[in-house]
Structure 1
Amino acid sequence: MAVSIDAELLGDVNEPNIKAINYALQELQSRKDRLDKLSDYYNGKQAIGNHCFENTQVKPANVMVNHAKYITDMNVGFMTGNPVKYTADKGKNIDDVLEALKKIDIHKHDIELEKDLSVFGYTYELLYLKATSPIVSVDSKGNEKQTPNTELRVEVVDPRAAIVVTDDTVEHEPLFAVFVQSKEDLEGKADGYSVTVYMPKKIVEYRTKSSMRLSDNDKPIKETENIFSAVPLIEYRNNEERQGDFEQLISLIDAYNLLQTDRISDKEAFVDALLVTFGFGLGEDNDDMKALKNGVLEAPSRDDGADVSWLTKSFDETQVNLLSQSIENDIHKVSYVPNMNDEKFMGNVSGEAMKFKLFGLENLISIKKRYFFDGIRRRLNLIQTIVNIKGGNSDVSGCDISLAPNIPVNLSDVVNSIKSADGVIPRKITYSWLPQVENPQDVIDEMNKQDVERLKEQQKALQEQDPDRLEVEDGQDDSSPDNEREEQDDNYGKRTRGL
């Protein structure tokens, strides 16, 4: 999560300010506990694992149903199952930018980005240039020349390892960013930290030997030019509050796991019930003890009320099951993620019924998309800078960004709607309703091509059935009705002129 400060406190924004860097590092460390907890819940390290009974003789089952992972994985699939689409503004070209996005496999990157957004509520993306094999060329004199070459790369950065510092204006423009990596020696022991500071014009790296904090005497061990001319560490937000998708559900998740754990523990206690005898006892050498070991024991036939029974704790399984379902329903209701295993969530419902079932999820995704696109626009501007430096001519201003959620749709209803709207709404709009269609114009071209081929096939079939008829249609002879009409017109003209 970005932290805001007064830009005037930095002086020159392109010169490292140790005091400001340490302030950012302190803010980064203060958020670690919260982020660690969210990461643990996604990975299955939840509070139920530490649950225990007061009676140390009873070992809890500690059942963990990972609703946190289910919510995140489903949201990631819904949100980024389909790739983001980019459409250049009218009269502008973004082909070089799209080619750069293709080379770095941006769809896979967006999936990883959305996963961190769903878990932590915010995350970071780092763009950088990696040196590759130089470009070899030969000049007019036959001399070989090597030109340095770089490739654009992008990586998701764990929010526990990075922070962006912005100004305190309403626009919150990035001033600098800090990326921290813990270092270890060859024996696996902690060996300080690497602290990299990204400024608009330069990138500097520090190295500490103990704590993460820098001292006034620390000098950069490496300094390079920032060719992006802007902070290349981009913050993405999941929502305005920067909360994870399951963060507000942790208490419900804990309650569900505790209830399931108690149910299993009660079952185990029922199996390990105590045997109680009334009016008689059992000895080690008694025949009754032998019968007990064989699984058969009967109370003596006496008139003093002798009896034998199991001492068990009774509970209403129906009420427990209702409580379990109630908690699970609350989890899905608050998270807006439907329970795909619910019997009511059938696969044969109509398209309209499906829309109502997924209405909350679609609203959630629409909010997530708005904040996701804010980071993407900053990404496009940074990539544009690089591709244009390398000779490109891209302009991403006004670029349209769209994302079709990967949500089940009733395709037959969509097709029927397109048919009904034909002639009323332009096909370029109606064809965009089809899922998995990136460019409606491509569909229009394919349909026109299909119509031409169908017409050719019809003409070919007619020719095979009646060749003479097609001959007459191709070249009209003198006996055709049109020629007769022309002769009649000529005769009429002669008669009128005679008059």
Structure 2
Amino acid sequence: MAIIRDRDLTDDWNNNIPLSIIAGCIEEHRRGLYRLDMLEEYYLGRHKILCRDLGGEDKGLPNNRLVANHAKYITDVAVGYVTGNPVKYAGEGMDEIQKAYDRIDIVSHDAELAKDLSMFGIGLELYFMTSDEKPYPKVTVIDPRNIFLVVDDSVEYKPLFGVHYYPKRDAKNQIIAWSINVYTETQIIRYKAIDVNSQSYELIDQTPQYFKAVPIVEYWNNEEQQGDYEQQLSLIDAYNTLASDRVNDKEQFVDSILMLSGASLGDDLEQQTEAIQLLKKHKILNMPIDAVAQWLTKALNEADTEVLRGALKTDIHEFSMVPNLTDENFASNASGVAMKYKLFGLEQLAKTKERYFIQGLRERLKLFANILGTQGKAIADVSEVEITMNRSLPNNDVETATMIAQLTDMVSNDTLISQLSFVKDAAEETKLVAEQKAEDVRNTQEAFGMNFPKDGVNADEPAQ
């Protein structure tokens, strides 16, 4: 999350930021890395259960450590639902910007950014000019553990500067130094440090940048800047523990202890070992008349365990607002209205994510408009550009076609045709349909030997 500093700490936030401020901000940022590391670990399937120790082999106890990666499921479904379809832009000033977006494959970039938002609760973009012979603007997603934005303490939280820092490693992958790049509204200031926690920074160079603003944009996943599964970590841990203990109980049930009363398998270890081997081979135990043999087992209540497992799974999906799409009851009614009710929670989550995502996209538009304007491109005011994010859902075109048929002559053709998922340009499709109908009429008239005006000239009249 952005770090807040008083704007009055220095008079020149563009060219002369005190090293004490930079070092203090880096120190504050690094104090929050533990949380981000933990959230990534859960997405990658390295959950708390993997560190559990029940005594292990020394005590003869099974210690299964199962991971049901609900964290990854929640993120992948939420990201796919919200950003599975490309973001659409409409309005003046978008022609040149859209060309720039297409050149850098902004669709893939948005998906990567959305994943960071879902995992960490924040995502950060860094804007720069490429090193090609003819440089062009580009944007990249930076791991939030290596970059941060510093804003002032006003109600507008205006950016003061941004820092991108990362370790430099030798051939053995050992950290030998740190690169610290500071971005202001007009400058890129590069430092080198042996210890990132110190203030002993060596100035490498200072170059101008022309985005006319701090070229770093911070996106939020929600107001709390939390990941989509962050509040469900305790439920995920409980689910993993229950699943692991369930398998442990099964193993202990199989490895039950044979209790003998009034009998012995032998007088010494050698005789006992031989008797056990014969018992395993022949499944027969010869015992005195009054002797008793029975297994010491742990009673398993599978019904109660399954109820608890189901309750935990339901809570994980309910509180994350990401439904279990593999639930047998989920697709039992595939009508449009029923599907909307089942996705109601996910849609509320998507609206929150979309609202904050669009705020960041508007900052991106401004930065691209600034740099393209600097390059002499004609860029209109982008503040009125309309940004649309379409959900990625299976489409019931049969149901849509029925609706279109019922609304014909009540709603414009362009509006109706635009509802079909396979139609990209409704106006062009309407034009093609009109042309096809006209062609069908001409073909019918020709088949019946009828003359009709063609290109404004009657077939029976000689051309003038």
CA contact (8 A) 2:423 2:429 kept: no
1:376 Cα deviation from its structure 2 partner: 0.7
1:74-93 correspondence runs (5 A): 74-88=77-91, 92-93=92-93
The match for 2:236 is: 253
Which SS does the other structure have where 1:239 is aligned? coil
Distance (Å, rounded) in 2 between the aligned partners of 1:463 and 1:184:
79
Matches of 1:183 and 1:457, distance apart in 2: 70
CA distance in structure 1 between the partners assigned to 2:182 and 2:21 by the alignment: 11
Larger CA deviation: 4-13 vs 351-360: 4-13
**Which deviates more, 119-128 or 7-16?**
7-16
For structure 2, the 5+ residue unaligned runs are none
User: Partner amino acid for 2:204?
Assistant: I
Q: Which of 225-234 and 306-315 deviates more?
A: 306-315
Residue 140 (structure 1) aligns with:
none
Percent of aligned pairs with the same residue?
A: 37
Task: Give the secondary structure class of the aligned counterpart of 2:196.
Answer: coil
Provide the residue aligned with 1:384 in structure 2: 369
The secondary structure found in structure 1 opposite 2:189 is strand
Distance, in Å, in 1 between the alignment partners of 2:42 and 2:320 is 15
Residues 183 and 190 of structure 1 are in contact (CA less than 8 Å); yes or no, is this contact kept in structure 2?
yes
Task: Name 1:65's counterpart in structure 2.
Answer: 68
1:29-428 residue pairs with structure 2 within 5 A? 29-54=30-55, 56-88=59-91, 92-133=92-133, 149-215=134-200, 218-283=201-266, 284-285=270-271, 288-289=275-276, 291-300=278-287, 302=289, 304=290, 306-346=291-331, 349-395=334-380, 396-428=382-414
2:25 is aligned to 24
**Cα distance in 2 for residues equivalent to 1:423 and 1:257:** 57
Please report the RMSD computed on the Cα atoms of aligned residues, expressed in angstroms. 2.3
Secondary structure of 1:315's aligned partner:
coil
Change in Cα spacing, 1:19 to 1:285, as seen in structure 2 (3 Å) is: closer
- Alignment CA distance shift 1:105-1:475 (3 Å): closer
- Closer, same or farther: CA 52–241 of 1 in aligned 2, 3 Å: same
Superposition TM-score, scaled by structure 2 size: 0.92
Distance 1:468 1:210, change over 3 A: closer
> How many residues were matched structurally?
451
| Deviation, structure 1 residue 332 | 0.7
**Whole-Å Cα distance in 2 between the matches of residues 123 and 476 of structure 1?**
71
- The separation in 2 between residues aligned to 1:212 and 1:430, in whole angstroms, is 61
- C-alpha distance in 1, partners of 2:450/2:9? 90
- Counterparts of 2:418 and 2:89, CA distance in 1: 14
The yes-or-no answer on 1:433 pairing with 2:434 is: no
Amino acid at match of 1:81: G
Question: Residues 464 and 430 (structure 1 numbering): CA distance in 2 closer, same or farther, change over 3 Å?
Answer: closer
In 2, distance between residues paired with 1:357 and 1:93?
Answer: 39
| Contact map agreement 1:52 1:60 (CA 8 A) in 2 | yes
Match of 1:4, SS state, is strand
3-state SS in 2 of match to 1:333 = helix
Residues 25-73 of structure 1 deviation map (CA, whole Å, 9 limit, x = unaligned): 1211111111110011111111000112257431411011111011111
Q: Which residue does 1:138 correspond to in 2?
A: none
Deviations 1:249-300 (A, max 9, x none): 0000000000000011111111111111222111244785453031412353
Change in Cα spacing, 1:476 to 1:99, as seen in structure 2 (3 Å) is: closer
* Partner SS, residue 263 of structure 1: helix
Q: Answer whether contact 2:445 2:451 (CA < 8 A) is retained.
A: no
Shift of 1:4: 1.6
Moved more, 12-21 or 37-46: 12-21
Partners of 1:379 and 1:36 in 2: how far apart? 27
Q: 1:299, 1:308 within 8 Å by CA — same for their partners in 2? A: no
Q: CA deviation at 1:301?
A: 6.0
Letter in structure 1 aligned against 2:312: I
TM-score (norm 1): 0.85
Deviation for aligned residue 1:316: 0.4
- Taking a change above 3 Å as real, the CA distance of residues 25 and 290 of structure 1, as seen in their structure-2 partners, is closer
Does the C-alpha gap of structure 1 residues 214 and 347 become closer, same or farther in structure 2, counting only changes over 3 Å? farther
Distance in 2, Cα, partners of 1:470 & 1:211: 82
Amino acid at match of 2:12: D
| Separation (CA, whole Å) in 1 of partners of 2:375 and 2:63 | 63
Q: Give the conservation status (yes or no) of the 8 Å contact 1:123–1:237.
A: yes
The answer to whether the 8 A contact 2:27-2:197 is kept is no
The structure-2 alpha-carbon separation of the partners of 1:63 and 1:295, relative to structure 1 and needing over 3 Å to count, comes to farther
Cα distance, 1:264–1:451 mapped onto 2, change above 3 Å = same
Aligned AA (1:36)? D
Which amino acid letter does the alignment assign opposite residue 309 of structure 2?
Answer: S
Pair 201,475 (structure 1): closer, same or farther in 2 beyond 3 Å: closer
Give the Cα–Cα distance (whole angstroms) in 2 for the partners of residues 315 and 62 of structure 1. 19
1:209-237 CA-to-partner distances (Å, cap 9, x unmatched) read: 1233323xx44211110111110011010
1:445 maps to 428
* Amino acid corresponding to residue 52 of structure 1 in structure 2: D
Shift in Å at residue 197 of structure 1? Answer: 0.5
Kindly provide the amino acid, as one letter, of the partner of residue 153 in structure 2.
Answer: D
Aligned partner of 1:143 in structure 2 is none
In structure 2, relative to structure 1, the CA distance for the partners of 1:246 and 1:97 (3 Å cut) is same
* Compared CA separation, residues 239 and 468, structure 1 to 2 (3 A): closer
- Maintained 8 Å contact 2:52/2:65: yes
1:329-377 CA deviation, whole Å, 9 max, x = no partner? 1111111111121110126521111111011111110110010011111
Query: Radius of gyration: which is bigger?
Result: 1
Q: Structure 1 pair 386/290, CA: closer, same or farther in 2 (3 Å)?
A: closer
Q: Which moved more, 1:289-298 or 1:179-188?
A: 289-298
Which residue identity lines up with residue 132 of structure 1 in the other structure? D
